Structure 1
Amino acid sequence: MAKDTPIDAFAVPQDFAVYQHFNRREDMTEMISVLRDHRIAVRVSGEDAGEWTESVIMGAPLKPEFWIEIPSADFEKANFMLLEYAEAHLTEEDIDAHPFSEYSPQELKQVLLEDTGWSSLAIAVARKLLLRSGEDIDLTQLRQEARKRIQAAFEPQKGSLLSIGLSLLLGIFSGLVLWFIGYMISLGVLLYYALGSHRDPDGNKHYAYTKTTRNIGRTSLLLIFAAAVLGLLNFLYFHVADFSRLQQWLWFWP
C-alpha cells in the first residue's frame, strides 16, 4: 500500500475511531508513518490529511485540529508500539533536555498514573527518568493503578432527570407545533442520553450513561417522535388545533 494512501481500498471494513488529535501537521505525518510501518491501517482527517479551511463563528476564526482514525481493535497495539518506538529513539541528550528532567520521582509517577493525558514520548521520558533515579519502582503496579483510574473514569453516569425532562417537553412542544429548531435541539440531547458513548485509550466503547438513563432517553425519543407525527397529521389533515400564528413566529424567530 502506498505511504500517502489514507487507507487500503481493499481492506475489510473495520470499526474505525478517532485515535489522536494534533495541532501540527508534521506531528500527525510522523505518527501516520510509524503506524503504517507496523501494519496498522490509518484514516486521516480530510482528503489532503491536514488542509484546513478557516471558519468564523461569532467573529472568531477557528482552526480545526488534525486527527487520525485507526481500527478500535488496534488501539492497545498502537499504544504499546508507539511507546516502544519513543523509547528506542530517545537519547540521553533528549532526556536531559526534556522538562521532566526537573520533576521529582513522585511527580514522574503521577505522569505514569495519568498516562492517557500525555504523549508516548512524554511517558517514555518519565519511565527512563524514574529508572535512572535508582528508586525501587514497580512499573507493573503503576500500570495497574492507571488502568483502575481509566475504568473509574469511564463508568456510566446517571443522567440528569431535569435535563431529560426539559428536553422531552421541548421536543413534544416542538413536534406538535412543527418547530424544527427546537425539535432538533431536543432530539440531539435525547439521542446522547440514549446512545451516547466514548472510547477508552484501548479503543473499547463505553456508554456515557447508565442503563436506566438510556432507557428513559429511548422512551423520550419515542414520545417526541409521536408528537411530531401528531403535529404533522394535525397540520396536513385534522386541523384540531391551529398553531399557525405560533408557527409563523417560531419559524422566523432569530
Structure 2
Amino acid sequence: MFRSTLRQQLLGLISLMLLMGMAVSNAATAPTEIEYAYPDQSVWTTQVDENGILKNPLLDFAERLFSRAGIPWHSTPYPAKRLFSNLKQGVSNFSMLVRAASLESCCLFSQQPVTHTELRVYRLADAAPITDKEALKGKRVITIHGYSYGGLGRFIRDPANNIEIINTPRHESAFAMLAHQRADYLLDYTGPSMEVLAAEPIPGIENHILTTLNVYLVLHKDYPDAEQVMKKLDAIAQELNREQ
C-alpha cells in the first residue's frame, strides 16, 4: 500500500512538472502583445465615439490584421508628440503612419502602403488656383491645430516664404473663416473636410489635391523577430486590401 501511494505521488509530481513545463514553453513562444498607438488628431474623420474620442477607421483594419497574424494587441490614442516619443523609445511598438524620417532609426516600415489620404488646398472662386506649395508663398493660409502637415508644414512655417498662418482648433471653424475671407486658402485632409462641407456647404468653394500621403505599417525594431513579423504583417495587409 505504501509503495502504491508513493507511486501515485510520484506520478502526480511528474504530471505537475510536465504541465508547468508546457505552461512555461507556451508563455515563451506566445507572441508579444502589440500596442497600436495612433494620433488623437484624425486625418480621417471629425466623428467621435461614445467616449468623445475621434474615430479611427484603421482600428477595424488592425483588428483583421492582428487576428489573422495571431498576435494579441490593444490600441491607444496619443497626442502627436507623445506618439512619436513612445515609438522612438519602444513604449509603443506599432502604428500606421506616413513614413517619417525621425522614426527610421528605431522602426521598420512596411514595403507597401496600407492606405493613403490626400491633403487638399481649399479656396473661394475668386482666389487663384494652387497647384503646388510654391504658389502659397506670400499668401494667408488657414491651418488646423494639431496637424504638422509634414514637409508642407515646414515649408509654410519657414519665414523666408512669407506665409501668414492663421491657426484654428476645429475643421468647422477653419471653413467658416475661409467662407468669411479671413484668409486666401485652407489646408485640410479629404475625410474631415468632406464631412464638414456636407453638413455646411460653402457656395463657390473649390479645392485641389496638393499632395497624396501614403500610410505604412510601423513596427519598432526591438519587437521580437521584428523583421520577420513585419514581413508577415505586410503580406497580410496586402491580402486584406485585395479582399476589399
Structure number with higher relative contact order (C-alpha < 8 Å, ≥ 6 residues apart): 2
Higher strand content, 1 or 2: 2
| TM tier relative to shorter chain | under 0.3
TM-score for both structures, normalised by structure 2: 0.23
Higher helix content, 1 or 2: 1
TM-score for both structures, normalised by structure 1: 0.23
